[in-house]
Chains A and B, each alone.
Chain A
Amino acid sequence: MNLFVQGILWVLDPAHYGGTEGIDTRVGQHLLISLGVLAVSSIIAIPLGYFIGHTGRGRSLAIGASGAIRALPTLGLLIIIALVVNVGLLAPFIALVVLAIPSILAGAYSGFEAVDRRGIDAARAVGMTELQIVGRVEVPLGLPLLIGGLRTASLQVIATATLADYVGGGGLGHFIFLGLKTNDYPQMLAGSIIVILLAILSEVLFSIVQRLVVPRGVTAGQPQDVRVRSPRSRAALG
């Protein structure tokens, strides 16, 4: 435990702030990579997920692909891309986008699927166009699950961005890998502690957002409820 205290002291030491090697710089890099990855993978995955959720087409393909990506070792992917596109930021970026897409995709289409079919039929009956149904019924009602998907993706990306520095991509992994090379346990711990804090911060922020985006009056849309039983099966019963 003594080492643990040293790790915390390492984080708090003012000498480790400022400059290109400072904790603040590395945290900035880490967050920048993570946000960039989330933005790019959202641009790819959300429209695709909405398409799958609305039309019901390509669903099994999406599930299969997500399963395959889960089996794909991120470290291997990261390194092989690094050998192709050279070391630096690009390789971790691509690898992380590949990692983040399945969760966001699943959040997008399962959000649409969780919408009560009777609600959609009602929307169609009052004369909404398909585009209106998507924009004004399915998107708002599916938002909690989409945010849930983003939450998972954000956690995975922040965690895995630690590996970016293995191929020279910078970020908080730098402290860990430098510490490993120089046998500097406190420095490794310091890097680890900060990454864990960032991960927890992301979880907390997203859980707050997840609660905020539930449309007023939709109590059944609470994420927990949606997870346990789908309204579709309830609709079939009632």
Chain B
Amino acid sequence: MTWLLNNGNLIGQLVVAHLLIAIPPIILSFVISVPIGWVANRFSWSRGTLLTVLGLLYAIPSLPLFIILPLIIGTGLRDSINLVVALTLYGIALMVRTSADGLASVDPDVRQSASAVGFSARSQFFRVELPLAGPVLFAGIRVVSVSTLSLTTVGAVIGIDSLGSLFTDGFQRGITVEIFTGIVLTIILALGVDGLLVLLGRVLMPWVAVNSGRVNRRERRRAQRAVTV
């Protein structure tokens, strides 16, 4: 307990460092995955190819990726950019399938109606398809955000500061409270960001709450299953 009281400052710094590493990949992977998901659905050849190739990214174990990546992108091993890029790649691997599924879930009749009333391809995407795919996409971001915030801690073993540093430091010095603090704070951050995302979703997609929650839940469950299985 005394450890906790004496190290408030350190904990604060690590929380900030953790968020600085984890937040960019969550945003980047969404921004990058949605266009890829759209392309995946657009052509008959692209869906299988893109989803398989990008899905393979997820097959690369994290620690080895952290070690090999600096050679490819030219950063230092202990550079946090290294971690940000790796986490973004994982985010994309998870998010592309959800994006493709979400965009494919838009009713073709709706799409045809949209182009019939004169939406250009661009505004059809931004004003019809994207909002309608919103709930599924959001379910995907939530999964990415939780796994990214948790995966960030692994960087600590190669010396990149995050809440994971509490694990490695606590292990070396045998302070159980420190490790426990790290675990609890990581979970709190994951749940906190998840909560913020839910709020953001309510603000951006008010119709989802009004709409029958059942459909939404089914979509979300489907997206969740696509990711977990």
| A residues in contact (CB < 8 Å) with B | 1, 3-4, 63, 66-68, 70-77, 79-80, 82-83, 102-103, 106-107, 110, 145, 148-149, 152, 155, 158-160, 162-163, 166-167, 173, 176-177, 180, 185, 188-189, 191-193, 195-196, 199-200, 203, 227-228, 230, 233
Interface residues of B, count at CB 8 A: 52
Contact A77 B183, CB 8 Å, known A4-B71, A195-B64: yes
Q: Is the pair B64, A83 in contact by a Cβ cutoff of 8 Å?
A: no
A79 touches B61 (CB 8 A): no
Query: A82 touching B171 by the CB < 8 A rule?
Result: yes
Bound together, the chains give a CA A235 to CA B110 distance in angstroms of 23
Query: With A82-B171, A83-B179 in contact, is A66–B153 under 8 Å at CB?
Result: no
Q: Which of B62, B143, B157, B224 has the most CB of A within 10 A?
A: B157
With a cutoff of 8 Å between Cβ atoms, the chain B residues found around residue A1 in the complex are 71
A72-B187, A163-B157, A196-B64 are contacts. A103–B228 as well, Cβ < 8 Å?
A: yes
Contacts of A203 in B (CB 8 A): 56, 59
Contact mask B185-219 → A, CB, 8 Å, 1/0? Answer: 01100110000000000000000000000000010
Question: Is B46 in contact with chain A by the CB < 8 A criterion?
Answer: no
A103 contacts which chain B residues (CB < 8 A)? 228-229
**Residues in chain A near residue B58, CB distance under 8 A:** 155
A-B contact count, CB below 8 Å?
A: 144
Listed A/B pairs (16) with beta-carbon separation below 8 Å: A3-B71, A70-B147, A71-B146, A73-B183, A76-B182, A79-B168, A79-B170, A79-B179, A159-B60, A162-B64, A189-B68, A192-B65, A195-B61, A199-B60, A199-B61, A227-B226
A-side contacts of B64, CB under 8 Å: 159, 162, 176, 191-193, 195-196
* Across-interface contacts of B63 in A (CB, < 8 A): 159, 162-163, 173, 176, 192, 195
- How distant is the Cα of A191 from the Cα of B67 in the complex, in angstroms? 10
Known A3-B71, A70-B147; further 6 A-B contacts with Cβ < 8 A? A68-B187, A70-B146, A107-B229, A149-B229, A155-B58, A185-B77
Q: Determine how close the nearest CB of chain B comes to the CB of A100; give it in whole angstroms.
A: 12
Residue of B nearest to A183 (CB): B77
Contact B61 A162 (CB under 8 A): yes
Identify B61's interface contact among A158, A180, A185, CB under 8 A.
Answer: A158
Using CB atoms, name the residue of chain B closest to A4.
B71
Contact B150 A180 (CB under 8 A): no
Query: How many Å lie between the Cα of A235 and that of B18 in the bound state?
Result: 46
Cβ of B156 under 8 Å from chain A: yes
Where chain B touches its partner, the secondary structure class is helix
A196 engages B61 (CB within 8 Å): yes
Asked if B174 is at the interface of the complex by the 8 Å CB criterion, the answer is yes
Question: Of B65, B68, B143, B225, which one neighbours A106 at CB under 8 angstroms?
Answer: B225
| A4→B157 CA distance, assembly (Å) | 21
- Interface positions of B from 133 to 159, Cβ below 8 Å from A: 143, 146-147, 149-151, 153-154, 156-159
Q: A66-B228, A230-B222 are in contact. Are A200 and B59 (CB under 8 A)?
A: yes
A residues in contact with B159, CB < 8 Å: 180
Bound-state Cα–Cα, A82 to B172, Å: 11
Q: A189 to B71, alpha carbons, bound, how many Å?
A: 10
Q: Which of the residues A4, A75, A149, A180 comes within 8 Å of B167, measured between beta carbons?
A: A75
A75 touches B153 (CB 8 A): yes
Residues of A within 8 A of B225 (CB): 106, 110, 227
Cβ-defined contact, B150 with A72, below 8 A = yes
Known: A75-B156, A79-B167. Contact between A160 and B61, CB under 8 A?
yes
